[in-house]
Every structure is written in C-alpha cells, then in structure tokens.
Structure 1
Amino acid sequence: MQVFSGTTADEAWRIAAKTIFDDAEIGVEPGRNGPVKELVHAAFVIKEPRQRWVLSRRPAMNPAFAIVEAFWILSGRNDARLVNRWNPSLPHFAGDTSSYPGAYGYRLRRHFSVDQLDRAIDALIANPTSRQVALQIWSAVDDLPATTGAPRSADIPCNTGSFLRVRQNELHWLQVLRSNDLNRGTPYNFVQFTVLQEVVAGCLGVSVGPYTHVCNSLHVYQNDLDTFSFAPKSALRSNSSLLLPKKEAFEAISIFERVLERLGDPALTGAECTDIIKHAVLPPGHHNLLLIAAADIARRLGWDDVMTEAAQGCSDPLLLAVWKKWCERWVRSRELRKAL
C-alpha cells in the first residue's frame, strides 16, 4: 500500500498527485466514466487535519460547495435541493433526483434508525478508551450491486465508514473509502470528514489528532490527466476553529443549516444576502465558512458588491486563498464562454 503523508491536506494531496500523474508504471483500468489511472489500496495521512484545504489543485476546487456539503452532512440531510444550489452539476454525477440515496449525513444520522454521530460522541465522553466507535455509511441492503452487476443507484457512497479513537487526548480519525477520484473527490472528502473530526473533537474536549484516509481504489480518469494539474506549494495556513463543547457545537450546526436554507432560497435578494452576512450569530470559525458560502451565492446571482463584501469579511488566510483561486477559475470560464 502506498501512503501519502503530509502535515497538511494540500501537502499529502500534492504527493499523491505527483505520483499518479508522473509514474508511467501505474496501470490503467476500465472505470465507470472511462479508463482510469489507478492505485489499488492507497492511503493519506494528514498530521494537522484543520489544515484541510487543497489549494494546489488546478482547476481550483469550489470551497463554498465543500462547506455547504460538510454542514449538509452534519445536519443529517439527503435532499438534493440545498447542495445543488451550490453545485448545479452535481446531478450529472449523483443522479437527477430530489434526494440522494447515498448521502453521508443521512446515513450517519438517520438511515439506520440511530443517530450515529450523537451516539458516538456520548459513548466517547463516557468511555474515551473505547475501541468500538465505528460509524457506518455503507449499507449492503442498499448499496451492493444487483446480481447482474448493475449499480443500485447513481449515488452509491464512496465513503463506507469512519473509525474514531481517542489517544493521548487527541481524536484520531480513520476514513475508509471503496473508491476515490483524486481530482474530483479527494479534496472535498478531506473537507467533509476533517470537519466532522474537528466538530467531534470539540464535543469530546480533546485536540484534533491525525486524519487517515484509506482508499480501495485511488484513481484519476485518463481524460482528466490533461486538464488537471497542481500549482506551487503555499505556506498559507488556516486559522479557523470549529472546536466547541457538544451543546454549542450542535447549536452552531442548527444555526448554520437555517442560514444555508435562507441563502439557498431562489427568492433571495441582494439586500437579504447582505443582512444574513451581517446578522448571523455564529462562532468566528463557523462565520468564516458562512461568508464564503454567501459569497458564492452572490457570485452566482451576479451581485458583485455583495460577493466582495462577504469574502472580505473572511479572516482565514488559507480559505480566502482557495476562494480567490475558485473565483479566478470562474472568471476564466466566463471569458471563454464570451469568446465562443
């Protein structure tokens, strides 16, 4: 098994990207959407999971969608409407449907008739030495292919489960995936599950330990080899914190969800967006994330002044850098469309 270890998510991702892109001996296999250059059994180790943003990926990742998806997961939802608002192309990958059957948050908090997230936190508060805290996403009933080999739906979860372990007052997190697209999936999965890790660590009153991300298949589609690349390494670091005691953490999740609902309302006006930005009562780290989600809605609706005001309020240097790269990508795409 190849292990890509780094202090930050960006560092670990860059090492993996360079390996897969440059190593001519890595085999090519058939994939769902075309041939893939694939590593079978690969892992990432991120020593500082709060440094979760992959800044190096080109084209740049969409930080607003990553943020919205993380809190959609924390809220236990599976509706397509909210996340599609920040990523209108998502139905192309996960199916054109009103709800996503493989939604991670719904699986973790509702699908199995137990709120696994809440139970895991309470169990580790009561017994921090427990080695029995495993979060289940994969469902054999819902996800195993039919006997013909056909997939059960367009949205089969790539993440299958999480394993939580408290050691020396740190929460170690092991994430297991059946399949992971290094370009289109991995940077977003890092955000999703390191956010969960940090939120749970805060609830437990412990620090955030290493994050380990194990893939049965880590791959890049051949068609993407010419369109994806990685930029020079950056020294920027994130300064946002999501560490809160359990009661405050779940209150913040609830507030964040309600604010996202308002931002995602098709009837939203520019004045309402500005009002939301100014009056949302959230801890500073959560507020930084909200500002980027709001900035992206303003961008999509053509409210340049509102977008600028929201982004300028973000005090997280790394998150702001990812946002700026995303905006540069959008500007280039817009200019290209105008030229056609």
Structure 2
Amino acid sequence: MLAPTPCVSFEQAYVDVLRHVSEDYEFSNAPRGNASRECIGVSFQLADPRQRTLFLAARKVNPVYHLAEALWYLGGRRNLDMIAHYAPRRRADSRDGATIDGSAYGARIFTPTSTGISPFEQALSLLRSEKDSKRAFLPVFRPGELDDSASPDVPCLLGLHLLAREGRLHMVAYMRANDADRGLIADVYSFTLIQEFTAALLGLELGSYTHHVGSMHLATGDLPRVARVLAEADDRAGGGPRFTVPAMPCDTGWAHVRTVLEHEQLLRTNQVQHTAADVAALGLPPYWQQAVLLFEAHRQIVHCTADPVDPQLLEALEPGLRWQLERRWPARMPARSVRR
C-alpha cells in the first residue's frame, strides 16, 4: 500500500495503515506464538515529518518514552538503564541485563567504527561534498543477525537513506517488520526527529519522510483498541491535527543533544528537580527546554507519587505535550478539567 499523495501528518498515515492491516490483511499467522494479521510491502510518505506524533484519545501515547528513545539513538547508546526506565518491557531485549544490541540503532549509526568516524558522519561528509548523492545510506541490519535463532533482539530497521534534493533533506526508512499499533509509532517519531536534526546540521530545509515495511502486522490482542482508534478517527474526519509541532531550531547542534541528555540522566535518577523557571534559565533554546520540562514532569510522576505534577510546569509545556500527558497519566494531573 503506497499512498498516492503524501500524508500531511503521521496521525493520518497511522490511521490509514491501521485500517488497511486490520480490515484488508493478507495473512493471519503467529510467528513465535504471536498471533497477528499481516500485510506485505506497506509504504507511506509524510509531507511534513514534524507532525510525527498522535493526538488520539483512544491511543494514549507516551511522549516521554518517544523523546527518550530518539535521544537514546542520537546519543549512540546501548545502555539498558536509560531506555528501560521509560519502557520496562525493553528489559526483555537484553541478553546481559545491562545493554541492548539489535534495537540500539543509534549505537550502529552514530558510534565511530574502526575508521574513527561514524557511519553518520561519513554520510554527512558525502552529502556536503557530493550534491544529489544517492549513497548516503546508514545501515543497521548486519550479516550474522540470524546466527542465533534464540536472539531476543533482531533489528527491525534495515537502514535509513538520506537524500539531499533542491535544498531539502528527505529520508527513506527501510524496515523488515513493524507492529502497526506499537513499534510504528515510536519508530516514525525517532526517525523523523533524526531526519530533522540532520537537516539542521546540513543547513537544509526538512523534506519528505518515506517509510517502507516488509511485514506490517497487528497483534490480534490489540484489535479492540484499533477499532476504538478507527472509530475516533471517523468521528473526527476532516478535523485536521489537534496540535502542531514546533520546528527544531536551524542552529541545533550536538551540544544541545548532549545538554539535554545530561539533564535527562539527573532527572531520571532524581538527583535534581526543576521548576519551569529553572528550565527557562538553563540557556537552552525554547525547543530544547521542552525536552527538559517533559523529563521533569516524568520525574515528578515517578518519584513524587503523592503529589500531582506542578501546574506551572505543565503550563510551560507545549499544548500538544500537555494534552498527551493529561491523557497518559490523568490521575497525576492537577485538579482541574482536562483539555479537550
């Protein structure tokens, strides 16, 4: 399934994919005991990759996890303690209880190889020197991935393809498999954020994002929730996105990522606490202040279980992030009406 025209937002593409796989599936199977519906060769394209998140009440996403995973990738990390803090289920992906290998895509893309330079920096160097290059591919899936049939963590991502054209950076992601209701949401968020970050480093505008999947599937246990999501989408037909996502500053660089990761660790381990005023005084651009605010909100949810999240902190968040937090953790929100 290839959309004849690009979708404006990921939410639109997500709903289209859910409908396609749940209603027009080609196969019903249960690899490794996981009963699912499956379509082979599913693709879509986003005209505006910034609209990378969902605002559907029936699908309560975790915006903190999505941001943390994207930063975990950009940091080139494999450590389990960071990513499992936001998604404990990721512990099942680890062999040694301390690191993740296959799905630590950032470690494969952003870590220097034996040449002393990372695949990412090689690709950027190529795009700076060779206009219209087709070679800037970031491989993730490696020979030998299938050597251990009992591996808990075979990469779903084959690789990311960067294409600079007429002042814009386009990206194409190639996946061997994707869960349409789970992994797809986090993957598109992370990959498009990496795309936008790369565009900033190259001084390019953001282009389209294309997502190709060999096996797009839905767990049969998730079908009731999928039905609720599709019903909500039908009720909202033509309503457009609830919120827009701000653009990453064009002067964004690695220093911003490192600074946010430093604050993430301090907040995750409850070594510091921030008010909205504290975050505003950090010297970060407003865009990246939002990341620190989000991690502080999560710190309060996890470590201050007797109190609601600070209302002033919530007011400092972008409306879309605030809306998602209110629906993900309604019991931890201040006593006031939740925004519709």
Q: Normalised by the shorter chain, which TM-score bucket?
A: 0.7 to 0.9
Distance 1:59 1:331 in 2: 18
- Normalized against structure 1, the TM-score is what? 0.86
> How many angstroms does 1:97 deviate by?
1.8
Report Cα offsets for 1:54-103 as digits up to 9, x if no partner. 22373311110000110110011110111111222321455672010120
Match of 2:176 in 1: 178
Match of 2:76 in 1: 76
> How many angstroms does 1:209 deviate by?
0.7
Distance 2:57 2:215 in 1: 20
Report Cα offsets for 1:223-278 as digits up to 9, x if no partner. 11124441334532324222434xx411101111111111111x435xx2438635
* Correspondence list, 1:137-152, <5 A: 137-141=140-144, 143-146=145-148, 150-151=149-150
Distance 2:96 2:281 in 1: 34
Asked whether the equivalents of residues 86 and 297 of structure 1 are also in contact (C-alpha less than 8 Å), the reply is: no
- Identify which range, 228-237 or 290-299, moves more after superposition: 228-237
Match of 1:249 in 2: 253
> How many angstroms does 1:290 deviate by?
2.5
Match of 1:119 in 2: 122
| 1:283 aligned to which of 285, 290, 299 | 285
Tell me if 1:259 matches 2:263: yes
Distance 1:68 1:222 in 2: 28
- Secondary structure of the residue aligned to 2:329 is helix
CA 179–278 in structure 1, closer or farther in 2 if over 3 Å, else same: same
- Identify which range, 75-84 or 290-299, moves more after superposition: 290-299
> How many angstroms does 1:210 deviate by?
0.7
- The gaps in structure 2 that reach 5 residues or longer are 334-340
Distance 2:32 2:317 in 1: 39
CA 309–268 in structure 1, closer or farther in 2 if over 3 Å, else same: farther
Asked whether the equivalents of residues 93 and 100 of structure 2 are also in contact (C-alpha less than 8 Å), the reply is: no
Match of 1:51 in 2: 51
> How many angstroms does 1:284 deviate by?
1.5
Letter in 2 for 1:256: V
Distance 2:278 2:214 in 1: 42
Letter in 2 for 1:52: R
Taking every aligned residue pair, what percent have the same amino acid on both sides?
22
Match of 2:159 in 1: 161
Report Cα offsets for 1:301-340 as digits up to 9, x if no partner. 235454533332113x333333332224x779xxxxxxxx
Match of 2:26 in 1: 26
Distance 1:94 1:61 in 2: 24
Match of 1:87 in 2: 87
Distance 1:289 1:238 in 2: 16
Distance 1:134 1:120 in 2: 7
Letter in 1 for 2:161: F
> How many angstroms does 1:110 deviate by?
1.9
CA 11–48 in structure 1, closer or farther in 2 if over 3 Å, else same: same
- Normalized against structure 2, the TM-score is what? 0.86
CA-based RMSD of the aligned residues comes to 2.4
Tell me if 1:129 matches 2:132: yes
Distance 2:288 2:131 in 1: 26
Distance 2:311 2:87 in 1: 20
Asked whether the equivalents of residues 165 and 171 of structure 1 are also in contact (C-alpha less than 8 Å), the reply is: yes
Match of 2:338 in 1: none
CA 100–49 in structure 1, closer or farther in 2 if over 3 Å, else same: same
Distance 2:57 2:125 in 1: 37
Tell me if 1:11 matches 2:19: no
Distance 2:295 2:27 in 1: 38
- Secondary structure of the residue aligned to 2:68 is helix
Distance 2:31 2:278 in 1: 43
Report Cα offsets for 1:4-25 as digits up to 9, x if no partner. 84110101101111222233x5
Asked whether the equivalents of residues 268 and 295 of structure 2 are also in contact (C-alpha less than 8 Å), the reply is: no
Asked whether the equivalents of residues 280 and 289 of structure 2 are also in contact (C-alpha less than 8 Å), the reply is: no
- The gaps in structure 1 that reach 5 residues or longer are 333-340
Distance 2:64 2:294 in 1: 6
Asked whether the equivalents of residues 158 and 180 of structure 1 are also in contact (C-alpha less than 8 Å), the reply is: yes
CA 61–9 in structure 1, closer or farther in 2 if over 3 Å, else same: same
- Identify which range, 91-100 or 168-177, moves more after superposition: 91-100
